[in-house]
Structure 1
Amino acid sequence: MATNHISTKWLGGMSFESNNTSGGTFKIDDGSSEDPQSFRPKALMLSSLAGCSGLDVASLIAKMKLEVSDFHIETMANLTEEHPKYYDKVTIEYHFHGANLNEAKLKRAVDLSIEKYCGVMEMFRRFAELDIEIIYHNE
């Protein structure tokens, strides 16, 4: 069984520094520091979701030899009103740009990520309703 281990150190106030498994570090705070280099915990969750699925899709784009000039993911989430506040509904938009987009294969790449490969997606599925949208920008 694989285990990830990170360390998170209090920097004082409402700021922490955490490492990743590659040894890099990043700051986490509650937004009060106004440090543009700091991340808020719940926003990091959305970045992790998009990053996990995006890595899957990018790998599949390469394997399928698809022509895509640009690809980005927009992630929007609804936060509950009561504490503990959590995301109960998440919309994930996959945007593909290109002159010769193979929509069927791109949809297959997204489907494989959300149904089979992305572990973060599976974690989110345990507590949130997921709405997946694929948007093709033919240029």
Structure 2
Amino acid sequence: MSYDTRAEYKDGMAFDVDLGGHDLRVDAGTDHGGRNYGPTPRSMMLAALSGCTGMDVVAILRKMQMPYDSFAIEVRADSADQHPHVYTAVTVRYLFSGQKVEREKVEKAVTLSLDRYCPVAATLRHTARIDYEIVINQ
């Protein structure tokens, strides 16, 4: 399986990226010569992790037939002090609410995602420790 993207330089530090027909502008913050027109490439890595593991968890819990009222993901990451400032530690928080949320099923879905299915997590794991928390409000 292969993927193609195209990034076209706009101005400052901004690029318009075509991701298989989906357009996105990436930029740097003003402190790095950009104008903050879009997310930074580094923050997009965390967004990719959120989406990747989130989709896995939804699919797995659907197969387990476990209902929930809401589901959100928060990701926090620390990076190295030296260039290239790779992520060294990532914490993923899975936030669920619902009367019928079962911790054991959520735990299984999360571990399957992070350890087996999510290619973004597998890629990040080369430089970062990935931890997770599960928060359930019933």
1:67 aligns with 2:62: no
Residue 14 of structure 2 corresponds to residue 20 of structure 1 = no
Deviation string, structure 1 residues 111-137 (Cα, Å, up to 9, x no partner):
111111111111111110111111111
The residue aligned with 1:9 is 8
Deviations 1:71-120 (A, max 9, x none): 11110000211111111111111111111111111111111111111111
AA paired with 1:34?
Answer: N
Give the gaps of 5 or more residues in structure 2. Answer: none
Instruction: Give 1:27 shift.
Output: 0.3
Aligned partner of 2:36: which letter?
E
Corresponding position of 2:40: 40
SS at match of 1:12: coil
**1:34 to partner: Cα distance:** 3.4
C-alpha separation in 2, matches of 1:12 and 1:34: 12
**Alpha-carbon RMSD:** 1.0
Q: How high is the TM-score relative to the length of structure 2? A: 0.93
Establish whether residue 93 from structure 1 lines up as the match of residue 74 from structure 2.
no
Deviation beyond 3 Å, 4+ runs, structure 1: none
Are 2:7 and 2:18, in contact at CA under 8 Å, matched by a contact in 1? yes
- Unpaired stretches in structure 1, ≥5 consecutive residues: none
Which amino acid counterpart does residue 128 of structure 1 have in structure 2?
Answer: A
TM norm structure 1: 0.92
Q: In structure 1, what is the equivalent of residue 28 of structure 2?
A: 30
Partner of 1:115: 115
> Identity over aligned residues, as a percent?
31
